[in-house]
Chain A
Amino acid sequence: MNRTAPDAFTLRLAELLAQCALKNRISFNDLYKLTAAKLYGVALRILKRPDWAEEVLQECYVNIWNHAGDYRVAKSAPLTWMTSIVRNRCLDWLRRPQTEATGEQYDVAVEAWRDDAPGPMEQLVASNEAAALAQCLRQLDPKQRQSIMLAFFNGLSHSEVARHMNQPLGTVKTWVRRGLERLKSCLAPGEV
């Protein structure tokens, strides 16, 4: 994969993670200040309940503190590494049997993600790093794009996406799979 030179923010996070590996609490606090709002947004969008999102965020930062030494700059960007930890924990959380359906009273929490709010696409275009991704998402068939966004962004399962879009499960599965394939070839043409 072709990687662009890391920006100042990425370098800063990598530096802070290196300090966390050496158990520097002040750096950990700085790391939290720089990333918590991003990661809380990620968790809240998937879990839709502030109490769950807070608990997951807490657990994930404790994990990040404990495993900062395992982080390798060469393998992934710091924010990618941290976001993946949070996303995976959220998906695990939703798998718990005791997880009840999300109540409507929590919809207020996701007000920020209303459809008419400045959408993720606009924000993607605004951030340089993700401009290529936004461009490729634009090129997808709208249904492929919507199903991928619902799954990735809001943590919906195939069947939840199908229900949301009022489409058969098999159709949605195909949209997601084809969309991902096209996204990959658009992002890295020539790569198999």
Chain B
Amino acid sequence: MASYKDPQLRDGLAAEYVIGTLRGRARERFEALMRYDYELRRTVAAWEARLTPLATAAGEIAPPARVWQAISKRIGGAQHVANGLAGLGFWRGLAIASTALMLLLATYTGVAPRPEAPMAMVAVMNDDKGQPALVVSWPPMKAMRDPHIRIKVVQAHPAMEPGTSWEMWMLPGGKAAPISLGLITTDRDQVMKVNPALAPKMGDAWGIAMSVEPGRGSPTGAPTGPVIFKGQCVKIL
């Protein structure tokens, strides 16, 4: 196996692995080596970076719709992801059904079952006309390995202007300065990681605001653009 240490040979094998001419037993051996050899994985990644544009540049062919349906089923997702409105009825139905189940359980056992991810705080963020635009909520941050907040769009989003970004801010209340939570996307439902250092403070948040900032977020660490949505936090747990 000494030959596997020769850099030129390693590079050559990595290249043939990536273009796919390394086959059969040789490919299996190479994959086994890669598992324990960080440098070899890097060599392979470099070849992938060089050649992948070739694989995808050939144009696109849309797969049949059944492929997504099968994937969605396999990851345990419901159809609602693909078609927004039809999903609403499904979720309403589910909510009613699970409320009924909870009541039933409470009747028989005397205790209500704990929902899987109880939300601890919620903030409804309004636009300048007082209409709700976003709902932000998060579970208790203390016990969370991956502190995060969930952001849902209630009404139609305004368009994000090119070259701008949307930055979320936690308002600690009083005279304290807003603390950046990070940039959000235009997705209707998204989960945003919270800096673990900030997580303990989220329980005392007074409000949440969203400002329009330059492309990579506020350059100063404080909101620089107009605040288009804001709302007060409500403790619900």
Contact = CB atoms under 8 A, between A and B. Distances in A.
Contacts of B27: 91, 95
A38 B51 contact: no
Given A26-B189, A37-B61, A157-B21, A177 B12 contact: yes
A80 B52 contact: yes
A30 B187 contact: yes
B19 A180 contact: yes
Interface size class of B (residues with CB under 8 A): 35 or more
B158 interface: no
A154 to B, nearest CB: 9
B53 A19 contact: no
Contact of B54 (A46, A54, A124): A124
Interface string A35-49: 011111110111000
Which secondary structure characterizes the binding site on chain B? helix
A192 B12 CA distance: 12
A113 B55 CA distance: 12
Contacts of B189: 24, 26
Contacts of B32: none
Interface string B1-28: 0000001000110011011110110010
B57 A130 contact: yes
Contacts of B11: 184
Interface residues of A, number: 71
A133 B50 CA distance: 7
Q: Which of B12, B15, B188 has the most CB of A within 10 A?
A: B15
Interface in A132-155: 133, 137, 148-149, 151-153, 155
Given A41-B59, A58-B70, A75 B16 contact: no
A15 interface: yes
B92 interface: no
- Per DSSP, are chain A's interface residues mostly helix, strand or loop, or mixed? helix
A149 B190 CA distance: 40
A40 B51 contact: no
Contacts of B74: 58, 62
A174 to B, nearest CB: 12
Contacts of B235: none
Contacts of B66: 54
Contact of B61 (A40, A133, A149, A153): A40
A180 B187 contact: no
Contacts of B50: 133, 183-184, 187
A157 B187 contact: no
Given A40-B63, A152-B55, A62 B21 contact: no
Nearest to B146: A22
Contact of B52 (A18, A79, A158): A79
B71 interface: yes
Contact of A76 (B15, B19, B45, B146): B45
A58 B82 CA distance: 16
Contact of B56 (A41, A177, A181, A183): A41
A112 B55 contact: no
6 contacts: A19-B191, A22-B191, A41-B60, A42-B55, A112-B59, A157-B20
Given A24-B190, A173-B21, 18 more contacts: A19-B190, A27-B190, A37-B61, A40-B62, A41-B60, A54-B64, A54-B66, A57-B67, A95-B24, A113-B58, A124-B54, A133-B53, A137-B54, A151-B19, A151-B21, A161-B21, A176-B19, A180-B12
